[in-house]
């Protein structure tokens, strides 16, 4: 499925095949360092949360928290998601057709 998306995103079938041919080669690019930083930034806290929940025998974060704390945390995450998502204009891919 992931490989077939290249054909939707590319301008032509030849461009899609050229893109897919690049999967077999590896050359370091500066963008990879940024990607690794984001991977560490987001995966390490998730690992810490998972280990903490395992130790506490909880199924999900704030399971034993008060109702108000859970609502406040959910609203805070919702606002953060809206703020982070509002800085780019991402057109839906099918509008190109």
30-86, pLDDT tens digit by residue? 999 999 999 999 999 999 999 999 998 888 888 888 999 999 999 999 999 988 876
Inter-CA distances, 38 with 28, 42, 56, Å: 17, 6, 28
The domain of 48 spans 5-86
* Total count of domains within the chain: 1
The pLDDT tens digits of the residues spanning 5-21 come to 888 888 999 999 988 98
Note whether residue 69 is domain-resident. Answer: yes
Would you state the structure tokens that stand for residue 55, as one six-digit string?
């130790």
Closest CA to 52 of 68, 86, 44: 44
Note whether residue 46 is domain-resident. Answer: yes
Note whether residue 95 is domain-resident. Answer: no
> How does DSSP classify residue 60?
S
What CA–CA distance (Å, rounded) separates 35 from 74? 27
Q: Which residue has the tokens 């509002």?
A: 86
What's this model's pTM, rounded to 2 decimal places? 0.48
pLDDT value of position 94: 61
């Amino acid at each position: 499925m992931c490989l077939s998306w290249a054909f939707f995103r590319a301008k032509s079938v030849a461009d899609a095949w050229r893109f897919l041919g690049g999967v077999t080669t590896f050359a370091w690019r500066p963008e990879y360092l940024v990607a690794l930083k984001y991977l560490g930034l987001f995966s390490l806290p998730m690992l810490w949360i998972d280990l903490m929940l395992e130790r506490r025998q909880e199924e999900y974060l704030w399971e034993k928290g008060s109702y108000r704390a859970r609502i406040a945390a959910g609203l805070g995450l919702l606002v953060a998601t809206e703020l982070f998502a509002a800085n780019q204009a991402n057109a839906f891919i099918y509008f190109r057709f």
